[in-house]
Amino acid sequence: FYLSFQSLRQISQRTISTASRRQFENRVPEKQKLFQEDNGIPVYLKGGVMDSLLYRVTMGLTVFGTAYVVYELLVASMPKKQK
């Protein structure tokens, strides 16, 4: 039991120590330049294709949801036919 606990401790220490040595490149200045550029594109679409796709899906769901709510309100407002 002691041997497995010690080996587990060594693995966890190794994982933590190697993770802290990794350096990530700071890309904030690149993103700032991209988003502050005056090119006529709205800021919510400047991220590229994924932003455009997400925007279109969101707008589609919004239009569909609004139409469905209006339909359900119309159905609820009509009196039911009695047999």
Total structural domains in the chain? 1
Residue 81, pLDDT above cutoff 70: yes
Residues 2-26, mean pLDDT to the nearest whole number: 67
In a domain, 28, yes or no: no
Q: Is residue 17 part of a domain?
A: no
Q: Is residue 22 part of a domain?
A: no
Place of tokens 């994924």: 50
At 14 the pLDDT is 60
pLDDT (tens digit per residue) in 38-48: 999 999 999 99
Q: Is 4 helix (H, G, I), strand (E, B) or coil?
A: helix
Please indicate, yes or no, if residue 75 is contained in any of the structural domains: yes
Q: Which amino acid is located at 11 in the chain?
A: I
**Domain-located, residue 77:** yes
Determine, yes or no, domain membership for 35.
no
Q: Are 43 and 32 in contact (CB under 8 A)?
A: no
Helix (H) / strand (E) containing 51: helix 49-77
Task: Assess if residue 58 is contained within a domain.
Answer: yes
Q: Kindly state the average pLDDT of the residues 64-76.
A: 97
78 within domain boundaries: yes
pLDDT confidence of residue 79: 86
Residues 15 and 10: their CA atoms lie apart, in Å, by 9
Residue span of the structural domain in which 53 resides: 42-82
